[in-house]
C-alpha cells in the first residue's frame, strides 16, 4: 500500500518518515551517508539538492504590546459587566482575555 503514490502530489518533506526520506535520498547521487543521517539532516540535504529554499516561519500577527493593550481594555469592560451584574458578557470578556493571553504567549516564544 505504501508503494502506491498519487502522481503529481507529494507529501511535504517534514511529514515524510525517515525511511521514505532515506529512499528518496538514495536516488540522489549528490547525497552521501544517507543511513547515518537523522531526519532533520536528510530534509536539509534533500532540499539543498532540489533547490528548495526554506521560508522563515511567520510569527503571530500582533506584537505582545498590542495584545496586552487589548487585554487591558477587555479587563476594564469585564469589570464594568460584573458591576452591572451582566454575567453573560463578563463570561464572554473572560474568554476573549484568555484567548489573547494564549496569543501573547505564542507571540513571545
Residue 38 domain boundaries:
13-50
User: In this structure, is residue 8 part of a structural domain?
Assistant: no
pLDDT for 52? 82
3-state secondary structure the chain: CCCCCCCCCCCCHHHCCHHHHHHHHHCCCCCCCHHHCCHHHHHHHHHHHHCCCCCCCCCCCCCHHHHHHHHHHHHHHHHHHHHCCCHHHHHHHHHHHHHHHHHHHHHHC
Number of domains in the chain: 2
User: In this structure, is residue 18 part of a structural domain?
Assistant: yes
pLDDT per residue as tens, the chain (109 positions): 444 444 445 778 888 999 999 998 998 888 888 889 999 999 999 988 888 887 766 655 568 889 999 999 999 999 999 999 999 999 999 999 999 999 988 887 7
Same domain flag for 68 and 103: yes
The model's pTM is 0.45
Amino acid at each position: 500500500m505504501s508503494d502506491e503514490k498519487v502522481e503529481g502530489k507529494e507529501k511535504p518533506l517534514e511529514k515524510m518518515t525517515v525511511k521514505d526520506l532515506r529512499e528518496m535520498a538514495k536516488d540522489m547521487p549528490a547525497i552521501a551517508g544517507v543511513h547515518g543521517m537523522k531526519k532533520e539532516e536528510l530534509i536539509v540535504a534533500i532540499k539543498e539538492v532540489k533547490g528548495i529554499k526554506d521560508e522563515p516561519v511567520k510569527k503571530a500577527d500582533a506584537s505582545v504590546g498590542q495584545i496586552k493593550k487589548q487585554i487591558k481594555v477587555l479587563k476594564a469592560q469585564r469589570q464594568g459587566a460584573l458591576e452591572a451584574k451582566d454575567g453573560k458578557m463578563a463570561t464572554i470578556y473572560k474568554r476573549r482575555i484568555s484567548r489573547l493571553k494564549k496569543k501573547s504567549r505564542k507571540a513571545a516564544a
